[in-house]
Amino acid sequence: MKVLTRASAALLACLPLCFAATTAHAQDDGYPNKPVRIVVPFAAGGSTDIVARLLADKLTAEFKQPFVVDNRAGAGGNIGADAVAKAPADGYTLLMATTGILSINGYLYNNMSYDALRDFAPVSYTSLITNILVVSPKIPVRSVSELVALAKSKPGVLNFASSGVGSSTHLSGELFKAMAGINILHVPYRGSSQALTDVISGQVTMTFDNAPSSIGFIQQGKLRALAVTSTKRLPNLPEVPTMDEAGIKGYESLSWSGIVAPAATPKPVIAKLNQAIDRILKTEEIKRRLAGLGVEPVGGPPEAFVRHIRSESDKWGKLIKSANIVSN
């Protein structure tokens, strides 16, 4: 009887652990076994969309299931982000999130329909994009120090374009204003294309544009690059200094993106996606293709992505409040 009792006790003690293991396995069993949707909350053709499509192609090959990009633009990315936040937490709806969605919009917009830290489970910090401070060749400056001197000699006269209020191109300019102690006017556009056109023509003094969309114009001589906003130079623009090297000490402003899922997505699914994306980002093909766009692959565990989101949120939240920036 004692043997039976001990055996029964051992079996009973094992049941919760066995059940937990079976449940965890079931959450990941066969995933994915149907198409996965990656929502890009911006129009097709932008840097976020380009990175998402590269990853979708490789994930499709990796898992033998379609990973389909779904562009849902509007409200600074909030429309697409809200759709994913409210989607079933089963790993079949993902979001290609950005700096704005995860670390800026919560400070910028009133009545947000989602909470970036509460409603999403970070999967992978995929990539970062350097912005470039560019001016028209018609503007008589060839360095950041000359631009700062010109701005100080004409307070409130010079201006800078951005792809919209609260965008990384806007906040890069606001950070420049604050750290250089200059007064320049913000001119928001609905996207970077028209902003670049007006900078090239000399109608607007400068812009901090994403590297992928401005490098071609720089190489063609239509824009003059004064500095990059990262802490290291770009391989395809080695002669262009960082803002720190150009005299704005400690300056760093990056546009970044990463994959997130609805908050309650099972951890085994998140781990499976994270490991696959990490492998993809480390391939020489992806490194080469992203480098050609001025994009740097990142990768790493979800926990590191969480820390990055919180750090960026603190940084930009303070700037938005001190500069009294509000959405349109």
- 143-198 residue pLDDT tens: 999 999 999 999 999 999 998 888 889 999 999 999 999 999 999 987 788 899 99
Contact call for residues 237 and 249 (beta carbons, < 8 A):
no
Contact call for residues 280 and 59 (beta carbons, < 8 A):
yes
Q: What is the mean pLDDT of residues 279-304?
A: 93
**pLDDT (0 to 100) of residue 328:** 57
Q: Which range, of 23-27, 74-78, 99-103, 286-290, averages the lowest pLDDT?
A: 23-27
Per CATH, 35-129+254-323 and 130-228 having the same topology is answered yes
Structure tokens at 197: 């056109």
**pLDDT (0 to 100) of residue 48:** 87
- Indicate if the pLDDT at residue 21 is higher than 60: no
- Evaluated on CA atoms 254, 256, 262, 263, the torsion sign reads negative
**pLDDT (0 to 100) of residue 228:** 96
**pLDDT (0 to 100) of residue 10:** 44
**pLDDT (0 to 100) of residue 7:** 42
Instruction: Report the CATH superfamily, name and number, of domain 130-228.
Output: Periplasmic binding protein-like II (3.40.190.10)
β-sheet bridge partners, residue 306: none
Residue from 84, 116, 119, 112 nearest 103 by CA: 116
Q: What is the DSSP string of 124-191?
A: EEEEEEEEEEEE-TTSS--SHHHHHHHHHHSTTT-EEEESSTTSHHHHHHHHHHHHHT---EEEE-SS
Q: How many helices (H) and strands (E) does the chain have?
A: 13, 10
- Indicate if the pLDDT at residue 2 is higher than 60: no
Please state, in angstroms and rounded to a whole number, the distance separating the CA atoms of residues 288 and 262.
31
Fold of 35-129+254-323: D-Maltodextrin-Binding Protein; domain 2 (3.40.190)
Whether the model clears a pTM of 0.75, i.e. scores above it, the answer is: yes
**pLDDT (0 to 100) of residue 28:** 55
Determine what percent of the chain is predicted with pLDDT higher than 90.
Answer: 74
| Higher local confidence (pLDDT), 25 or 32 | 32
- Indicate if the pLDDT at residue 314 is higher than 60: yes
pLDDT tens track for 34-77: 999 999 998 888 788 889 999 999 999 999 999 999 999 888 89
Q: How many CA atoms within 13 Å lie on the side-chain side of 160? A: 27
**pLDDT (0 to 100) of residue 40:** 95
**pLDDT (0 to 100) of residue 57:** 97
- How do the domains of the chain map onto residue ranges? 35-129+254-323, 130-228
Average per-residue pLDDT in the chain? 89
| Higher local confidence (pLDDT), 295 or 226 | 226
